[in-house]
Structure 1
Amino acid sequence: MCGITFEIYHALCGEGKHREETCTNLRSDSMVLLLEAGDEESIDYDIPGVPTKDYRPILWNYRTERNNFSCLSRPGGSCEVKTGKVLGGSSVTNDMKYTRGSKVDYDGWHKDALGSVDWKFGNLLEYFKASEDNGDYDVLMNSFYHSRGGEMRFQRFKHVDKYIETFATAFAEMGLRTVDINTNVPEAIVLNQFAIFNNTRLSTNNAFLKPVRHRKNLVVITGATVTKIVIDKHEKTVEGVMYEVEKGKERPAYAKREIILAAGAVNNVRVLHLSGIGPKAEMKRLNISMVVNLPVGLNYRDQVTTGGLAFALSDVAPIADSDIINDFKKWFQSRNGNLASRGINQISAFVQLYESENAPDVELSLEGNFIRSDKFLLNNVSVHAAEETQLPMAYYNLVNVYPILLKPKSKGKVTLNRRNPKYGRPIIQANFLKETEDIDTLVDSIDIALQLLDTKEMKKNEIKFAPLDLFPCDRLKNRDQWNCIARHYTKAVSNPVGTCQMGENSTTSVVDFNLRVHGVEGLRIVDASVMPTHVRGGIFAPTMMIAEKASKMLLKDWNENKGHSFNRR
């Protein structure tokens, strides 16, 4: 139904010996229909140095609702939430970083729930490793955590510029050490690994779908938006879906075995609510006939950061348009040059602020930007201008430091648009920074980031605090000022989870531990929305792990129930 669906298909019937062996266990009449609301992935999106996060044609562009405690100075008083609307989903628009999170995150999901033992970290490692093809020898040496031979290639970029080394040295001065963050360490300087092959972005589309696109039992339809899941209200079994290629003209697609919903934490809510699956009060308010009463959309969470913290570089020469054009030519001809990198985004630091758990609390993520102005160091620049990417990421004279709150406590909800439930943008009441603990952690992390400016390395390279226009917080001082900045210039990381969380019962969760929707036969959800809380990293790697695990669940259930169209529970 969306991006991760074809990863499941590949896990069932992909290339490679272990894939082919499992594929032979499937019945010959097993067909997969993949419906994707976006279009085909273009090669332009595969250039590592080109930021795709702001390219609106391949994004679902949603905004949070206004509140009194976050996003106050963002346009409209709300934050943007941007996820992929393209074949490959958010793996085409994300930062490509390979971070899995910490052991305590997975072990804490359902530590007291019956049946959750399969989701303990020790039991999930095999699914992380199943699709991993790690290309860095020093990382691969730790075979307990890493492997070769999977479909997704992860490795560092070879091109490392001067400032990557500068910031790495500065972080080391602060007491951090360079180590693989995916080995359950609480702190680290990380020269990030990315999903790349031959200096080209490797999306789930390129890795999992393209190698099997020729198969006769796979049908892919792009530009197809699912509007509703058709459910037999008496039997509570799934019959199929309705989808639109043209607005207002619905088409049916019938399912013989199962439907896998993978539309993401926001769009899953839209599809399920329109299908009569959701909170009773919400269904009644929207005058939708309820099929199953489940808390769909009530556990919305997103990682959060803030703008306003940026460092100015003193010795960066102006960038000529001809140089950029030549770099594009070089990448297309040889997959090398400046565009075969992510600039300062290649380095980050994970920091443990508190000692309650052996895990990081924040990631200090760095992102470069080039401000086209000779008067940059004399005149204040707005926070929005500092964040608005004008050039490929390899060119920068400004470094935005984003302290990412990895494990936010604040949560909100997603509901349908009252005026136009079917086509209107879903209502996201994100409640960012509503919990005092979140704002305190964010401000504490800013204090850590500012210590970079006191290191010998940063002073030697004349890197200073950028003179941003911080109105209306400019007259405040110290912690009060950063508290104000965080609330006014809040920024969603666009890693939403939780709206269809898994759990033991239908009162507090939407799917069970086999990812089957409670009370509905033949419907599973397989994406980041089933995660009850965030892990301490991105959601890219965990979502692929969930898909790998789901493929094994499907095989097991289908082989045990060969005489039935659906798995009877």
Structure 2
Amino acid sequence: MIVGTDVIPSISSYFAVLPGVNMSKVLPTCVLLLATSANADLFSKATRTKADERDLRNSVFDFIIIGGGTAGCVLANRLSAISDWKVLLLEAGIDENIDYDIPGVPTKEYRPILWNYRSERNGYSCLSRPGGSCEIKTGKVLGGSSVTNDMKYTRGSKADYDGWHSTGALGSLDWKFDGVIEHFKSVEDNGDYDVLMNSHYHARGGEMHVQRFKHADRYMEIFTAAFTEMGLRTLDINTNIQEAVVNNQFAISNNTRLSTNSAFLKPVRHRKNLQVVTGAYVTKIVIDKQEKNVDGVIYEVEKGKERPAYAKREIILAAGAINNVRLLHLSGIGPKADIKKHNITLIVDLPVGQNYQDQVTIGGLAFVLNDVPVVTEAEVINDFKTWFQNRSGPLASRGIAQVSAFIQLYENFNAPDVELALEGNFIRSDKFMLTNVSVHAAEETNLPLSYYNLVNINPVLLRPKSRGKVMLNKRNPKYGRPVVQANFLKESEDLDTLVDSIDIALQLLETKEFKKTDIKFAPLDLFPCDRLSNRDQWNCIARHYTKAMSNPVGTCRMGENSTNSVVDYQLRVHGIEGLRIIDASVMPTHARGGIFAPTMMIAEKGAKMIIKDWKENNGHYYNRR
């Protein structure tokens, strides 16, 4: 469809009454948006009705946030707090429901609320996983991965953030640990008074309530005591320490999961200047090729039925390290060779999709608890009733997963290298049959996390050296699953770190606590590694039974120039005006913990940057390029 000249005066008159709208920018944008919209016929045939006027007005916003995940919900809260700013939040997933709020229920298995990505086959990792590739599960729901993650509140170490500083790049100074600690604290509401005593690191009053679970079981105490026997102290890992056995803090309120949706977005959904659209799949960021500034977005609520939205000030991309790449490449922003391959017009040549990193762990390191009674269906039903009635009981916890140990293997940095993360599972098998249980079966969650007779220890590589790449799907770039060349364990140093940490975990078997309780190493079926022994066997297990932690970062890394980074230290995309990226994809390297807390920090800091630029600097902060 071609928009006729008789339509343009009507469009112009609609926008003329909107304050702060630059008509020289709006007019060509509207023509483009309407021409690409499936609903464009409505405007071309009858542009003078009140309904059309309302539709067009309703498509104009000050800020458009793409992605209602961990970062997007924080951003929507902060930007819509400015009453004269109109904010649109677009989320591809659905709203969360109460089923996802039960701490003992592993939401990472709820496929309808997940982006179910897979890494490409390679020769270094995931060899015995289905298809020879690893699953990468990130949240596709309001709240994003804060709905599907393990809820742990771990920030990483001072060395991580100080490492983001680049000598000579003044803007990077703000990202050193001393520059970000205030943003961690401003969103935090810490409920453990012994932790709050360290006011340099912790605070009260933020939206995200964090604390330990009150429900602790016998085996939590046994494993904690065993790690203590090995020399680890019980400490708060978020106070820049190198080693500890930790009773973790979690994002919970009244023994209920607290996502960024429930903490930041739900309380402000009533704001008249905030519009939230779920099931919205964004297919393109519309960019003025001459001016190199963003105009709006095209999104679909139904496949093939496009809708336009126009941004007067900025578009903020917060769709995650994989989805950001898909959308930027489709919009003409990315490596020249990758963009041209799909016959997409190149707008800016940037290393979008490079520097992919994800933390990994392995299966096969499991311990059997011999005196755990069989859990009956009646018990489980009764425990669900208990949680729904008064938010208590076994389901008001994560079981043994509340405990983990952080280990410093090397002395290069004052920071841990590996987290030994514990996870329980209930295997319906007698001792004899356990020898026929595969690694996959030992990992499959059969009951809520509170019930277990097997403890998997997952050695998590906190700071991977291996780097990968994300690209568009070759056959179906618009709707197909992006290609993730993860390259897990490509660097031999990553493999060595994992295997070194396994040696430490196996020392648990020699502790008095384990011997007294008769905790044994689980005799799992480790094919094809069963004929090997010692370090060779664990090298084999690591390569065959690799697991992605689904904490991807780095694909839109921040930096000083467009050669090796995608955004500057103000999180603005190099070479494009009005486009920022604010989520974990901007992290140059991993923080030594989960990405939940760091992503909230990045969103809080990014929101303050935006407010400062548009309120204090009157929007005159971009250099015309």
**Is 1:404 aligned to 2:471, yes or no?**
no
Q: Paired residue for 1:20? A: none
Q: Paired residue for 1:481? A: 537
- How far does the alpha carbon of each residue in 1:221-259 deviate from its partner, in whole angstroms, 9 at most, with x for none? 000011110000000010011101111111111111101
Question: C-alpha separation between the residues in 1 aligned to 2:297 and 2:519?
Answer: 56
- How far does the alpha carbon of each residue in 1:373-404 deviate from its partner, in whole angstroms, 9 at most, with x for none? 23566532100000010100000000000000
Q: Offset at 1:315?
A: 0.4
The alignment partner of 1:491 has SS state of: strand
Determine which of 248, 266, 272 is the counterpart of 1:210: 266
Q: Paired residue for 2:72? A: 5
Question: C-alpha separation between the residues in 1 aligned to 2:471 and 2:543?
Answer: 24
Question: C-alpha separation between the residues in 2 aligned to 1:117 and 1:100?
Answer: 19
**Is 1:461 aligned to 2:528, yes or no?**
no
1:158-307 alignment, distance < 5 Å: 158-307=214-363
Q: Paired residue for 1:72? A: 127
- How far does the alpha carbon of each residue in 1:490-535 deviate from its partner, in whole angstroms, 9 at most, with x for none? 0000000000000000000000000000001100001000001101
Q: Paired residue for 1:366? A: 422
The alignment partner of 1:229 has SS state of: strand
Structure-2 change in CA distance of 1:430 and 1:376 (3 Å): farther
Q: Paired residue for 2:28? A: none
TM-score (norm 1): 0.96
1:323-342 alignment, distance < 5 Å: 323-342=379-398
Contact between 2:80 and 2:87, CA under 8 Å: does it hold in 1?
Answer: no
Question: C-alpha separation between the residues in 2 aligned to 1:559 and 1:568?
Answer: 19
Quick check: 274-283 or 552-561, which moved more?
552-561
Contact between 1:522 and 1:567, CA under 8 Å: does it hold in 2?
Answer: no
Amino acid paired to 1:387:
E
Determine which of 77, 83, 87 is the counterpart of 2:142: 87
Q: Paired residue for 1:320? A: 376
Question: C-alpha separation between the residues in 1 aligned to 2:175 and 2:469?
Answer: 25
Number of positions where the alignment pairs a residue of Structure 1 with one of Structure 2: 557
Question: C-alpha separation between the residues in 1 aligned to 2:196 and 2:432?
Answer: 43
- How far does the alpha carbon of each residue in 1:280-332 deviate from its partner, in whole angstroms, 9 at most, with x for none? 01011111110000000011000011001000000000000010001101100
Q: Paired residue for 2:43? A: none
Determine which of 147, 151, 159 is the counterpart of 1:104: 159
The alignment partner of 1:496 has SS state of: coil
Amino acid paired to 2:541:
I
The alignment partner of 1:118 has SS state of: helix
Amino acid paired to 2:233:
R
Unaligned runs of 5+ in 2: 1-65
Contact between 1:110 and 1:503, CA under 8 Å: does it hold in 2?
Answer: no
- How far does the alpha carbon of each residue in 1:134-162 deviate from its partner, in whole angstroms, 9 at most, with x for none? 00000000000000010000000000000
- How far does the alpha carbon of each residue in 1:4-44 deviate from its partner, in whole angstroms, 9 at most, with x for none? 22312323455xxxxxxxx4xxxx54100000000011110
Question: C-alpha separation between the residues in 2 aligned to 1:563 and 1:117?
Answer: 23
Q: Offset at 1:560?
A: 3.9
Q: Paired residue for 2:117? A: 62
**Is 1:421 aligned to 2:488, yes or no?**
no
Structure-2 change in CA distance of 1:563 and 1:64 (3 Å): closer
Q: Offset at 1:192?
A: 0.3
1:436-447 alignment, distance < 5 Å: 436-447=492-503
- How far does the alpha carbon of each residue in 1:88-124 deviate from its partner, in whole angstroms, 9 at most, with x for none? 0000000000000000100011331332100010111
Question: C-alpha separation between the residues in 1 aligned to 2:477 and 2:151?
Answer: 33
Question: C-alpha separation between the residues in 1 aligned to 2:242 and 2:431?
Answer: 41
Question: C-alpha separation between the residues in 2 aligned to 1:375 and 1:539?
Answer: 38
Unaligned runs of 5+ in 1: 15-22
Question: C-alpha separation between the residues in 1 aligned to 2:619 and 2:396?
Answer: 51
**Is 1:344 aligned to 2:400, yes or no?**
yes
Amino acid paired to 1:470:
L
Amino acid paired to 1:198:
N
Determine which of 184, 198, 210 is the counterpart of 1:142: 198
Amino acid paired to 1:104:
A
Structure-2 change in CA distance of 1:378 and 1:150 (3 Å): closer
Contact between 1:257 and 1:566, CA under 8 Å: does it hold in 2?
Answer: no
Q: Paired residue for 2:435? A: 379
Q: Offset at 1:565?
A: 11
- The structure whose residues are more often helix, as a share, is 2
Contact between 2:463 and 2:589, CA under 8 Å: does it hold in 1?
Answer: yes
- How far does the alpha carbon of each residue in 1:158-200 deviate from its partner, in whole angstroms, 9 at most, with x for none? 0000000000000001100000000100001110000000000
Work out which of the two has the higher radius of gyration on C-alpha atoms and give 1 or 2: 2
Structure-2 change in CA distance of 1:184 and 1:376 (3 Å): farther
Contact between 2:613 and 2:620, CA under 8 Å: does it hold in 1?
Answer: no
Q: Paired residue for 2:552? A: 496
TM-score (norm 2): 0.88
Using the aligned pairs only, state the percent identity.
77
Q: Paired residue for 1:18? A: none
Q: Paired residue for 2:367? A: 311
Question: C-alpha separation between the residues in 2 aligned to 1:220 and 1:126?
Answer: 29
Amino acid paired to 2:128:
S
Q: Offset at 1:567?
A: 7.6
Contact between 1:501 and 1:510, CA under 8 Å: does it hold in 2?
Answer: yes
Question: C-alpha separation between the residues in 2 aligned to 1:92 and 1:225?
Answer: 19
> Please, what is the CA RMSD of the aligned residues?
1.2
Question: C-alpha separation between the residues in 1 aligned to 2:78 and 2:346?
Answer: 34
Contact between 1:62 and 1:82, CA under 8 Å: does it hold in 2?
Answer: yes
Q: Paired residue for 2:599? A: 543
Question: C-alpha separation between the residues in 2 aligned to 1:339 and 1:563?
Answer: 49
Contact between 2:76 and 2:89, CA under 8 Å: does it hold in 1?
Answer: no
Q: Offset at 1:564?
A: 6.4
Higher RCO structure, 1 or 2 (CA under 8 Å, sep 6+): 1
Contact between 2:80 and 2:271, CA under 8 Å: does it hold in 1?
Answer: no
Q: Offset at 1:563?
A: 6.3
Contact between 1:179 and 1:188, CA under 8 Å: does it hold in 2?
Answer: yes
Question: C-alpha separation between the residues in 1 aligned to 2:434 and 2:162?
Answer: 51
- How far does the alpha carbon of each residue in 1:345-388 deviate from its partner, in whole angstroms, 9 at most, with x for none? 00000000001111000000000000112356653210000001
Structure-2 change in CA distance of 1:567 and 1:132 (3 Å): farther
Amino acid paired to 1:110:
H
The alignment partner of 1:244 has SS state of: strand
Q: Paired residue for 1:514? A: 570
Question: C-alpha separation between the residues in 2 aligned to 1:350 and 1:553?
Answer: 33
